Amino acid sequence: MSQSEVASLLKAASFAAGKHRMQRRKDAEASPYINHPLAIAHILCSEGGVTDSTILAAALLHDTLEDTQTSPGELEREFGPVVAAIVAEVTDDKSLPKEERKRLQVAKASSKSEGAKLVKLADKISNLRDIAATPPADWALERREGYFRWAKEVVDEVRGVNARLEAAFDHAYEQGLRATREAA
């Protein structure tokens, strides 16, 4: 990776940390939100072998449009059109009801770009691991299982993009579902 690519990645981490600074995750300890995009970028690189800086930057920024006051134009200005486009692709339309958004994620996953598929895959791996290890305090077993099943439906639509990440997802799915049931 060139110096400018490394600099852009670090800028994306810093930008996302600033945008998510007031947010916490749903686990019992309410960990800082930024841990989540950082984990996804780390999964992509260390487990998926992804070294494309635009995909890693998009991973760091993947929830900024959906969950913070960030505009597509701002991302394009700061990080360029490729990164901005991947983030836009993995952003749900928040004007739609939740169930419809979840249905659309499954329906549209297979037509996304490779970068967006990779970010989606790592996002789901990270979320399943988090739910299994530190579940949201107010999620009953049924809701946790429902999330696992839905995440698998999304991932089944992007298969073929990265075998190592897909295997990591399958492992997180089986282990996580078992741990979730045992804990209940």
Binding residues (CB under 5 A) for Zn ion: these are 63, 123
Q: Which is nearer to Zn ion, 25 or 103 (CB)?
A: 25
Q: What does the alpha-carbon distance between residue 125 and residue 86 come to, in Å, rounded to a whole number?
A: 18
For the bound state, the minimum distance from the C-beta of residue 40 to Zn ion, rounded and expressed in Å, comes to 6
Q: Residue 183 and residue 123: Cα distance in Å, rounded?
A: 23
Shortest approach of Zn ion to residue 66 CB, angstroms? 8
Residue from 82, 64, 85 nearest 15 by CA: 64
Find the shortest distance in angstroms from Cβ 49 to Zn ion.
20
> Could you say which of 27, 47, 52, 67 is catalytic?
67
Cα dist from 1 to 19, 20, 114, whole Å: 25, 26, 19
Please tell me the distance from the alpha carbon of residue 163 to that of residue 50, in angstroms, as a whole number: 12
Q: Which is nearer to Zn ion, 65 or 177 (CB)?
A: 65
If we measure between CA atoms, which residue out of 89, 98, 99 comes closest to residue 119?
89
Residues ≥6 apart with Cβ < 8 Å to 62: 37, 40, 86, 87, 90, 91, 119, 123
66 a catalytic residue: yes
* Smallest distance, Zn ion to C-beta of residue 92, A: 10
Catalytic residue among 5, 47, 66, 145: 66
Identity of the residue, 33 or 79, whose beta carbon is nearer to Zn ion in the bound complex: 33
CB-wise, 122 or 177, nearer to Zn ion? 122
52 is catalytic: no
By annotation, the residues acting in catalysis are: 66-67
